[in-house]
Copies of this chain bind each other. A is one copy, B any other.
């Protein structure tokens, strides 16, 4: 046990995800030795993020205003919605610069094990966005795992009867990967999704 406030800091840091007791101690000593201005900046940004950050009223992405940057951008195609589980998925897809439509962040995936059903996800908000008929295609970009697949299947069953084009991101071998190291599920999907060579 350290004296007073140093132990308080280690305790607080230890509550953060992915930071164990050793990591908390290491960060605390780093901060003890750090420039006070740097530590003040970290403290201020912590307070600021709680004061400013919120979720976009349209898509559910992280935002600093009523609507996020992407929903406010008139150059983004309003006919195309890419459905993802989390805000970090938006960031990952934006990095590819491949997608020029808009997003819808579900806030998770269907997971009976964790007690998450469709009603806990932002599906009602997605349906509301489809009411005016301007959206023509929904790209399901939930994670390629059991929960993401179940969520995609659920949404497909719901959306296809509405006359929408519903697509799912391709699953297969990661580019730059080594075939021999691919797990059997990925390899199986790569076979199932095989395309005519040279395309």
A interface residue numbers (CB < 8 A to B)? 1-6, 8-9, 12-13, 15-19, 23, 25-32, 36, 38-50, 52-53, 62-64, 68-69, 86-88, 91, 94
Contacts and interface: CB of A to CB of B under 8 A. Distances in A.
Mostly, the A contact residues are: helix
Give the number of times this chain occurs in the complex, counting copies.
Answer: 2
Q: Which of A12, A41, A49, A69 has the most CB of B within 10 A?
A: A49
Contacts of A19: 18-19, 23, 27
30 contacts: A3-B62, A3-B63, A3-B69, A5-B49, A5-B52, A5-B53, A5-B64, A6-B49, A6-B53, A6-B64, A8-B48, A9-B45, A12-B41, A16-B27, A17-B30, A18-B26, A18-B27, A19-B19, A19-B27, A28-B49, A29-B88, A32-B49, A32-B62, A39-B46, A39-B47, A39-B50, A42-B46, A43-B43, A43-B44, A43-B46
B45 A91 contact: no
B46 A2 contact: no
A2 B106 CA distance: 17
Given A18-B23, A26-B17, A41-B12, A31 B49 contact: yes
